Chain A
């Protein structure tokens, strides 16, 4: 809910004065279009109210009442005054008035009518102020439209149209300002200090300000126009190309890549991932590296323990394998010695069972054969190793050894 205090003085006054505007809207609008305000018809009381409310003001005792600048500006905004856009005529009119007044002033001064001259100079000041405020208002209205990107119309096309209108307006203002001929005004003022002040120092200063303001508006309008046109082109492109692709689903563009010149749009180098590592051999980085090392998060104690345990285990493994192999070798050597002692053929597998050795039979046979082949040729002549073997199957010539018989030879002959 509104928290506005309807009983506050400011609110009361605001409402009163807005009502006042409504009540006298007719005369105020007429005055806006240059009709002199008939004070008698409006009535002294109403005139005083309007003056109190700063809706009207009286530039000086002699001259008529005028709309105050804020009210004039408000009306311009309210009615988006097309009339105000017809500026050349306005500036022309002002200039005619200025010339007329300057003529009168010079005339009065020549006649020694200084009081008349002062009065006319006030009128001239008023005229120059009016001209200035009219141009300023016109430029303000342009800025307003610019600053909201012509948001008061919706489509890009309308924005482009509005931009063009505004652009023409700027040109008209610039043309209008060109009409103000300062050489002429300087000549008018002659040696009259008062006139010089109004026409040269004041007006010239203001006009040059307006000029640069208008140039700025112009360049901003151009920028905006370029943007509008670009947007329009983009909209059209996206819509049009989608339409085209829909009509030609199998569209294949030409091979632009094989041309001698490939446009940059199509020439995109393959991505490359630069990677680096620490250079351990660079002395001057040593300190940094040490720091980095110190900053590394501590290793999980769990991991450390696992690592410490794992290594001896693997060593133990090696040792166990070696020990087993040695034991196997010794058992096989005993088998050979046993055969030498017995001086008769002995089956390796039978020996294994009889001696209650717990070697895997296959491993045992391998080791017996390996030991035989490992003997020097003279020692080997003392033994004879017979393979008990047979074919894997009738169609497979692979010989499978079931057992071996070892016997001692005396002078190369089986015992």
Chain B
């Protein structure tokens, strides 16, 4: 029965994150608990199993049993993710400001690279933010201009599975569920380290008048 899932299996084994945006059909298949059990059964000899973020919006493979060498691999991976965390959070902020969105990017949001480049071009503060981002180790752009920097940033996001490009020759991208994973990881660190975040202060009328 696993034959029909061979493509999905290969994706997962290759380290892909499967969400509704990246592959809606595969995501739908993974909603079925029996299918998931069959996957786990199949993956058992490979010491792997299906795992998801707490909301179940994105699926990937996890180790079934952890050994010391595997823990070391995970430590290294976590370190890499941590290195990308600050640039990614900054990118979320940059995208939000550029698009004038009220909310942080979420899965299914559509980004148009050219439109974003045009907006950043016209705003010195956004230009500076992008420049700073492009030079981080995670994005590493050699380019001096906004279009080139943004192109590299998008390419990195695409290769890391944060963006899905439905048409190769067009410039619009869909935000995938992997962004949920990143947010969940951020939340996990916050909770584990007991980091206090100040609530947003909504100024009320009286304060404004005072």
Contacts and interface: CB of A to CB of B under 8 A. Distances in A.
Contact of A253 (B51, B82, B197): B82
Interface in A237-281: 237-245, 253-258, 262-274
A267 B185 CA distance: 11
Nearest to A249: B86
A191 interface: no
Contact of B193 (A254, A258, A273): A254
Interface in A216-253: 231, 234-245, 253
A254 B78 CA distance: 11
B92 A238 contact: yes
Given A156-B103, A242-B86, A236 B14 contact: no
Contacts of B147: none
A48 interface: no
Given A231-B103, A237-B190, A238-B89, A273 B195 contact: no
B74 A264 contact: no
Contacts of A272: 13-15, 46
Contacts of A389: none
Interface string A16-43: 0000000000000000000000000000
B73 A270 contact: yes
A63 interface: no
Contacts of B152: none
A155 interface: yes
A130 B66 CA distance: 69
A269 B63 contact: yes
Nearest to B183: A234
B71 interface: yes
B108 interface: no
A266 B183 contact: no
Interface stretch (B25-33, B117-125, B134-142, B198-206): B198-206
A244 B197 contact: yes
A157 interface: yes
A148 interface: no
Interface string B171-210: 0000000000101111111101101011110100000000
B188 A265 contact: yes
Interface string B65-95: 0100001011101100010011001101100
Interface string B51-62: 111100000111
A229 to B, nearest CB: 12
A253 B93 contact: no
Given A237-B187, A253-B82, A231 B106 contact: yes
A241 B66 contact: no
Interface string B2-15: 00000000100111
A273 to B, nearest CB: 6
Nearest to B16: A271
A240 B51 contact: no
A378 interface: no
A396 interface: no
A251 to B, nearest CB: 8
Interface-central residue, A255, A256, A265, A271, by most chain B CB under 10 Å: A265
Task: Decide if the interface of chain A is mainly helix, strand, loop or mixed.
Answer: helix
B104 to A, nearest CB: 5
B127 interface: no
Contact of A238 (B10, B53, B186, B189): B186
B169 interface: no
Contacts of A83: none
Contacts of A258: 71, 75
B164 interface: no
Given A157-B202, A267-B62, A241 B102 contact: no
A265 B188 CA distance: 9
B61 A269 contact: yes
A240 B193 contact: no
Interface in A316-368: none
A105 B67 CA distance: 86
Contacts of A263: 188
A237 B71 contact: no
A241 B185 CA distance: 12
B186 A237 contact: yes
Contact of A267 (B66, B104, B198, B200): B66
A231 B75 contact: no
A149 B48 CA distance: 41
A273 B12 CA distance: 10
A311 interface: no
A268 B59 CA distance: 10
Contacts of B46: 272
Contacts of A273: 13-14
Given A156-B103, A238-B92, A253-B82, A265 B13 contact: no
- Shortest 6 CB-CB contacts between residues of A and residues of B: A240-B197, A271-B15, A264-B51, A267-B62, A269-B61, A231-B103
6 contacts: A157-B202, A235-B102, A235-B104, A237-B183, A253-B193, A264-B62
Interface of B: 10, 13-15, 46-48, 51-54, 60-63, 66, 71, 73-75, 77-78, 82, 85-86, 89-90, 92-93, 102-104, 106, 181, 183-190, 192-193, 195, 197-200, 202
Given A237-B187, A270-B77, 10 more contacts: A156-B102, A234-B106, A237-B183, A240-B195, A257-B78, A265-B54, A265-B181, A265-B184, A266-B188, A267-B63
